[in-house]
Amino acid sequence: MGKFDGILMCTDCDGTLTDKDGHLSDANAEAIRYFQSEGGRFTLATGRFPEHLNKYADKLKINAPVISLNGVLIFDIEKNEVLKTATMKTEKALKVVEYLNNNWPGIWEYWINYTDETSGCYKPMEDIFKYETIKVSDACKEQIDSMEGNKETRPQFAVMSDNLPEAMAKMVFVMPEDMLPAVRKDLREKFGGEFNFAASWANGLEMQDIESGKGMAVEFLKDYFEDVTTSVCVGDYDNDISMLEIADISYAVDNATDEVKEISKRIAVKNDEDAIAWIIKELETKGLA
* Of the candidates 259, 261, 260, 265, the residue with the CA atom closest to the CA atom of residue 247: 265
In a domain, 171, yes or no: yes
Residue pLDDT, tens place only, 235-274: 999 999 999 999 999 999 999 999 999 999 999 999 999 9
**pLDDT below 50 — which residues of the chain?**
131-137, 139-140, 143-144, 146-154
Give me the CATH number covering residue 92: 3.30.1240.10
Residues 109, 155: one domain? yes
Residues 12, 39: one domain? yes
What is the predicted pLDDT for the residue at 143? 46
Q: Return d(Cα 154, Cα 36) in angstroms, integer.
A: 55
Looking at 194, 209, 224, the residue that finishes a domain is 209
Pick left, alpha or beta for residue 127 (phi over 0 → left; psi -120 to 50 → alpha; otherwise beta): left
The pTM of the full predicted model, rounded to 2 decimals, is: 0.89
Residues 67, 165: one domain? no
For residue 193, which amino acid is it?
G
SS3 5: coil
Residue pLDDT, tens place only, 16-45: 999 999 999 999 999 999 999 999 999 999
Looking at 162, 178, 209, the residue that finishes a domain is 209
SS3 142: helix
What is the predicted pLDDT for the residue at 167? 93
Residues 81, 217: one domain? yes
What is the predicted pLDDT for the residue at 251? 98
Residues 79, 182: one domain? no
Residues 104, 192: one domain? yes
Looking at 209, 237, 255, the residue that finishes a domain is 209
Domain hosting residue 78, numbered range: 7-86+212-286
230-235 β-sheet, strand order: 41-44, 7-11, 230-235, 249-252, 266-267
Residues 82, 92: one domain? no
Question: What domain count does the chain have?
Answer: 2
Q: Return d(Cα 92, Cα 258) in angstroms, integer.
A: 32
In a domain, 2, yes or no: no
